Amino acid sequence: MAAHLKKRVYEEFTKVVQQQHEDLSAKKLRLTKPSKSAALHVDLCKATSPADALQYLLQFARKPVEVESVEGVVRILLEHYYKENDASVRLKIASLLGLLSKTAGFSPDCIMDDAINTLQNEKSHQVLAQLLDTLLVIGTKLPENPSVRMRLVEVACKHLTDSSHGVRNKCLQLIGCLGPVEKSVAKEAESQAAKDVQKIIGDHFNDQDPRVRTAAIKAMLQLHERGLKLQQAIYSQACKLLADDYEQVRSAAVQLIWVLSQLYPESIVPIPSSNEEIRLVDDAFGKICHMVSDGSWVVRVQAAKLLGSMQQVSSHFLEQTLDKKLMSDLRRKRTAHERAKELYSSGEFSSGRKWGDDAPKEEIDTGAVNLIESGACGAFVHGLEDEMYEVRIAAVEALCMLAQSSPSFAEKCLDFLVDMFNDEIEEVRLQSIHTMRKISNNITLREDQLDTVLAVLEDSSRDIREALHELLCCTNVSTKEGIHLALVELLKNLTKYPTDRESIWKCLKFLGSRHPTLVLPLVPELLSTHPFFDTPEPDMDDPAYIAVLVLIFNAAKSCPTMPALFSDHTFRHYAYLRDSLSHLVPPLRLPGRKLVSSPVSPSITSHEDPSQQFLHQSLERVYNLQHLDPQGIQELLEFTIRDLQRLGELQSELAGMADFTATYLQCQLLLIKALQEKLWNVAAPLYLKQNALASAAAKQILEETYKMEFMYSGVESRQVVIIHHMRLQAKALQLIVTARTTRGVEPLFGMCEKFLQEVDSFQRCFISELPHMQGSFVDKLLDLMPRLVTSKPSEVVKILQTTLRQSTFLHLPLPEQLHRATANIIEPTGESDNPLRFTSGLVVALDVDATLEHVQDPQGTVKVQVLYPDGQAQLIHPKPADFRNPGPGRHRLITQVYLSHTAWTEPCQIEVRLLLAYNSSRSKASSRIPKSTWNESLEALPPSENGIEGTIPFSKPVKVYIMPKPARR
């Protein structure tokens, strides 16, 4: 055998030498490779001690092996395997075999026989386990070969009786991963391995070693995952494992029981020690509930998590999980929840507790008290009170899932969820608030519950407060006192944390529109109107007053009697708010108010139409006016731009669209203005001043095009073409201006060439769009292309100039949805007069909190810029974890910026702003181009196309007062 192997090695040698002749230049790498397996062989032969051999193997393992030589290497390794006496070296070889068979593209069936053979004479348990692991790798690499798998499973079954737990572990793992899944396969193969794998694994459920027991359960779960239907008989076995001494066994057993309960929910199982029978899913539910009070928290987490997904359980069992009978001194006591409920239903106000308020009532029959309830009783009560927050979170999640599927359970678990709002760990609080929001459709909050919920509004954590606002948005409140309470608490919140303004207004908007009838009786009080006296008009800029109005106006939308209660100034304020906060204040049908009610005439949707119409009309107007005299065009453009900008301010829905088109028209205007310059008619050197204007225009157009391309979400390829086209025009303009102002031709050569390359790449990128661009600059340019390529720069410039003047201006089609990326820095507010003092040379952390809207991939693009008074700018990349995503299209950036500077004599302001980074190679255009247009590899792309990177500032800068002090000696 050894001689044969050696021969193979030399064969390989010669074979590769031949290849050397064939393609020497292309595949140089191969030269070294044959010597690799041979070198391994030589090394291993040289090795005098096991330690040496091990060193060689370790070194060898560090380098990858090519697919073609894997088999050779494996042979050499096997040869040494048989010769080797030292177990550790054999172990390493075995693990190397596994690694090698993982090599992509290598099919390990050729080495399988050898690998199985090695198992025969192996004495060391560790090596055996490693070899089985290798077999597992081989087996998983050959998924479509049932006979091979069969054989491997057979081998594994043989070694199941090994005395070492490691070997048994691996055997079970192998059976789990490779065991036959379809029954038919098992029947076809008539060998012994056709024995039911489930039974083989099941026999090891009571192995003496806990690790093997765990492995057996895991193998069973693996089989289940691979699609084998587990037998119901396993259930009783698994139940016994729940009482195992070892946590990993219990944890796995809980999973197995859960799997079985999902497979056979409706089967009937007997209750031990009684004649009754229950559904399997109920029984399993009870058992898993029991594990929620297990000694090990890993098991508790596992159990609590799984409870959530057992939705078939009957409601009777489900409701038991929240049940906990209290007693004191053997007398029945009501829980605080029950007391609260009673107080509420008796109509009494909570008067604060008296001594003995919770005094126990009736005596309990001592026999009837069941201290250790079997089954589901109080599982969630325990889970929610657990000492580990992981368990509590899992329990809350499970509650959420169960409550979503069962309204009655949702109603019951409310008290417990409300309690969780006071957990000591913020994550748990947040989780329970989110949970409550998710189930809010099924529940109505009682007043006392609302009270506890609202108390959390004072939490100093912004996340908690905002989550709570979201919750209140979709909560049902039962009484008008509840609404009043909520309003009062929200206003309190507003005064304490003024930055929550937007979120609170939004919350009140929904609160109002959901409960119009409850708000109605509160209106006089809220507006502090009086039947006889005129009350002073409230301050319109007071956020609290706006909050109240938002609530009332939204309620009035579906309550036509409400406006009758308004006083005069309320109507005025309505008109103002409808204009300034149109997203919060709905259109109302107000009696006797023509001005307000007229636009709302017949249909509700109509209010969108006129503005949209206006937008389109103004655009039409512009696009149709191509042949007017330049003066007229300029004026019209100016007016339209002004109109559009105003429209964007008024109609938030159309802001993106309006801004986008306004920017485009602005570009056009600049271009026209630049081309109107007198400089084109006069000799170059005389017009340095004007040329500054033209080149500035070109520069600005370039900037604007980048903004258009990267700042708006929803831009489609049709728009991208137009933007790129505009950019091309700007570049042409730049070229012309440079040609006019520079003397000498040399610099122009390079520029022309570059420009032509760009035209070329434009053509290639947007070839499909070209037919739509009849008469445009690029269209004409492409016609002239053959001439351009051959002509001198001066001529090129001339041609460009004429085409630029003659080209029509392109119609910009508008996409369905267009949103401009915006950012708003909430913190720092920039209002502080106290400078942030720190020792120069050290660092100070500045908290930055900002909301981002319509930013795609903020993690990659949004940067923070800090501008120091000395003009020094610093760009900071926030961590990906600093971005949160509270809703679609919205992002929150909460990060810390580290500032440092040398000492200043007096405090000064720095500017903080957010930037949107872009990279034209990542541009939407290039990503959208169909592959076919590329044909060649990426190298063919002109370098200019993927080089341009830049940033667009997209938030208002905020000033921060800082003062680096000199360090004290």
Partner 1 sequence: MPEIKVTPLGAGQDVGRSCILVSIAGKNVMLDCGMHMGYNDDRRFPDFSYITQNGRLTDFLDCVIISHFHLDHCGALPYFSEMVGYDGPIYMTHPTKAICPILLEDYRKITVDKKGETNFFTSQMIKDCMKKVVAVHLHQTVQVDEELEIKAYYAGHVLGAAMFQIKVGCESVVYTGDYNMTPDRHLGAAWIDKCRPDLLISESTYATTIRDSKRCRERDFLKKVHETVERGGKVLIPVFALGRAQELCILLETFWERMNLKAPIYFSTGLTEKANHYYKLFITWTNQKIRKTFVQRNMFEFKHIKAFDRAFADNPGPMVVFATPGMLHAGQSLQIFRKWAGNEKNMVIMPGYCVQGTVGHKILSGQRKLEMEGRQILEVKMQVEYMSFSAHADAKGIMQLIRQAEPRNVLLVHGEAKKMEFLKQKIEQEFHVNCYMPANGETTTILTNPCIPVDISLGLLKRETAIGPLPDAKKPKLMHGTLLMKDNSFRLVCPEQALKELGLAEHQLRFTCRVHIQDPRKEHETVLRVYNHLKGVLKDYSVQHLPDGSITVESILIQATAHSEDQGTKVLLVSWTYQDEELGSYLTSLLKKGLPQST
Question: How many Å apart are CA 453 and CA 507, to the nearest integer?
Answer: 14
Minimal distance, residue 461 CB to partner 1, in Å = 7
Among 295, 531, 744, 871, binds partner 1 (CB under 8 A): 295
Among 85, 208, 495, 932, binds partner 1 (CB under 8 A): 208
Piece of 139-147, 451-459, 770-778, 884-892 that binds partner 1 (CB under 8 A): 451-459
Minimal distance, residue 58 CB to partner 1, in Å = 34
Q: Does 325 bind partner 1 (CB under 8 A)?
A: yes
Q: Does 327 bind partner 1 (CB under 8 A)?
A: yes
Piece of 318-326, 573-581, 748-756, 769-777 that binds partner 1 (CB under 8 A): 318-326
Minimal distance, residue 328 CB to partner 1, in Å = 5
Q: Does 355 bind partner 1 (CB under 8 A)?
A: yes
Piece of 138-146, 347-355, 500-508, 818-826 that binds partner 1 (CB under 8 A): 347-355
| CA 369 to each of CA 45, 67, 359, 376, 679: distance values in angstroms, whole numbers, following the listed order | 77, 71, 19, 16, 102
Among 207, 659, 758, 945, binds partner 1 (CB under 8 A): 207
Of 702, 712, 623, 717, residue with least CA distance to 667? 702
**721 token code pair:** 């073409």
Q: Does 445 bind partner 1 (CB under 8 A)?
A: no
Among 333, 515, 707, 727, binds partner 1 (CB under 8 A): 333
Our separate counts of H helices and E strands in the chain read: 42, 16
864: which DSSP letter?
E
Q: For residue 261, how many other CB atoms are within 10 A of its CB? A: 25
Minimal distance, residue 204 CB to partner 1, in Å = 9
Question: How many Å apart are CA 423 and CA 405, to the nearest integer?
Answer: 25
- Looking at beta carbons only, is 371 or 881 nearer to partner 1? 371
Question: How many Å apart are CA 256 and CA 235, to the nearest integer?
Answer: 8
Q: Does 489 bind partner 1 (CB under 8 A)?
A: no
Among 88, 126, 164, 293, binds partner 1 (CB under 8 A): 293
Among 115, 260, 420, 914, binds partner 1 (CB under 8 A): 420
Q: Does 452 bind partner 1 (CB under 8 A)?
A: yes
- Looking at beta carbons only, is 86 or 427 nearer to partner 1? 427
Among 6, 36, 125, 324, binds partner 1 (CB under 8 A): 324
Minimal distance, residue 336 CB to partner 1, in Å = 4
**Interface residues for partner 1 in 151-180 (CB under 8 A)?**
161
Among 227, 352, 592, 771, binds partner 1 (CB under 8 A): 352
**595 token code pair:** 């001005």
**Interface residues for partner 1 in 240-269 (CB under 8 A)?**
245
Minimal distance, residue 171 CB to partner 1, in Å = 15
Q: Does 351 bind partner 1 (CB under 8 A)?
A: no
Q: Does 336 bind partner 1 (CB under 8 A)?
A: yes
Question: How many Å apart are CA 500 and CA 81, to the nearest integer?
Answer: 71
270: which DSSP letter?
E
Q: Does 461 bind partner 1 (CB under 8 A)?
A: yes
Question: How many Å apart are CA 91 and CA 111, to the nearest integer?
Answer: 17
**233 token code pair:** 């008989």
Instruction: Let me know: does 410 contact 332? Beta carbons within 8 Å.
Output: no
Q: 565: part of which helix (H) or strand (E)?
A: none
Residue type, 554: N
Instruction: Let me know: does 623 contact 776? Beta carbons within 8 Å.
Output: no
Question: How many Å apart are CA 349 and CA 370, to the nearest integer?
Answer: 35
Instruction: Let me know: does 708 contact 661? Beta carbons within 8 Å.
Output: no
**227 token code pair:** 């699609």
Residues 6+ apart with CB under 8 A from 515: 476, 477, 483, 555
Minimal distance, residue 482 CB to partner 1, in Å = 17
Classify the C-alpha dihedral 769-775-777-780 as positive or negative: positive
Minimal distance, residue 132 CB to partner 1, in Å = 19
* Total chain residues near partner 1 (CB under 8 A): 47
| CA 584 to each of CA 380, 545, 587, 888, 934: distance values in angstroms, whole numbers, following the listed order | 40, 14, 10, 19, 49
Minimal distance, residue 205 CB to partner 1, in Å = 10
668 burial level (CB within 10 Å; 0-12, 13-18, 19+): buried
Instruction: Let me know: does 668 contact 626? Beta carbons within 8 Å.
Output: no
Piece of 34-42, 77-85, 369-377, 629-637 that binds partner 1 (CB under 8 A): 369-377
Among 49, 328, 617, 933, binds partner 1 (CB under 8 A): 328
| Phi, psi angle pair for 651, to nearest 5° | -105, 105
Q: Does 896 bind partner 1 (CB under 8 A)?
A: no
- Looking at beta carbons only, is 355 or 532 nearer to partner 1? 355
Q: Does 359 bind partner 1 (CB under 8 A)?
A: no
Among 266, 276, 387, 833, binds partner 1 (CB under 8 A): 387
**354 token code pair:** 């008296």
CA-angle at 841, arms to 835 and 846, nearest 5°: 45
- DSSP three-state, residue 910: strand
Minimal distance, residue 498 CB to partner 1, in Å = 13
Among 12, 282, 459, 758, binds partner 1 (CB under 8 A): 459
Paired strand residues for 268 = 279
Among 18, 25, 275, 460, binds partner 1 (CB under 8 A): 460
Among 144, 276, 348, 424, binds partner 1 (CB under 8 A): 424
Residue type, 579: D
Minimal distance, residue 179 CB to partner 1, in Å = 22
Q: Does 425 bind partner 1 (CB under 8 A)?
A: yes
Piece of 186-194, 326-334, 513-521, 696-704 that binds partner 1 (CB under 8 A): 326-334
Q: How many residues does the chain have?
A: 969
Binding site for partner 1 (CB under 8 A): 161, 206-208, 245, 293, 295, 324-330, 333, 335-337, 352-353, 355-356, 366, 369, 371-372, 381, 384-389, 416, 419-420, 422-425, 452, 455, 458-461, 496
